[in-house]
Amino acid sequence: ETAARALVDTLGHGSVVQADLADESAVDALFADSAPTLVVHNAAAQPVAALGDMSFEDWRDMMATNLDSAFLVTQRAALAWISAGRPGAIVNIGSTEALDPAAGHAHYATSKAGLLMLTRAAALEFGSSNIRVNCVSPGLTDREGLARDWPDGVRRWLDRVPLGRLGSPNDVADAVLFLLSPAARFISGANLVVDGGMSAHSKW
């Protein structure tokens, strides 16, 4: 909440609302109180667990946070726009792991792969109502303390990424802004990979 309010203060306008996006009734209440014109779905968790050690509860928690929430937000936003006779645009935040999973991330990668298909399905079904749905899939994106917390991963990324650096939050934000903007008015069902060219590498 503190970070969200600080962002609104920086922007100079807006409001802060809160809901458990994996809870159907909470999402319904959220949309009853607000009427967004654009939606970015970025609710996610990324715990690490070996597939053989993972509990079913771990699996279900991941799907609820990363995928169920996207279904609820996408559906409710689209239905609200259709009811109001308005166009709309949604961008889901995916991951390059949807196509290239890492060890210990089976549940995370599966949830993000499902998010890609949800994005395409929503684009197909809601397109006739002038609602666009796209996905942005970042690669390794820098944050405070990342190099300290995961030095091996950062080093391996920097050794291979064609553009020679980590992604930044602004790299991802600019891709989202493009897909939400009129510049992307004829783009729907797309997955824009923001990974500095890492996915261009041969896998063998």
Report, in angstroms and rounded to the nearest whole number, the Rg of the chain calculated over CA atoms: 18
For helices 24-33 and 69-84, the axis angle rounded to 10 degrees is: 40
- Compute the Cα dihedral for 44, 48, 51, 55 and give only its sign: negative
Tokens coding 76: 């409710």
Q: Tell me the CA end-to-end span of the chain in Å, nearest whole number.
A: 45
Identified catalytic residue from 31, 71, 81, 108: 108
By the 8 A CB rule, do 10 and 62 touch?
A: no
| Chain centroid to CA 4 | 17
Is there a catalytic annotation at residue 183? no
Hey, which residues does 106 pair with through a beta bridge?
none
d(CA 136, CA 94): 6
Q: How far apart are CA 108 and CA 118, in angstroms?
A: 15
DSSP state, residue 149 = H
Q: Which residues on neighbouring strands pair with residue 88, listed in sequence order? A: 131
Looking at the DSSP bridge assignments, the partners of residue 137 are 193
Catalytically active residues are 108
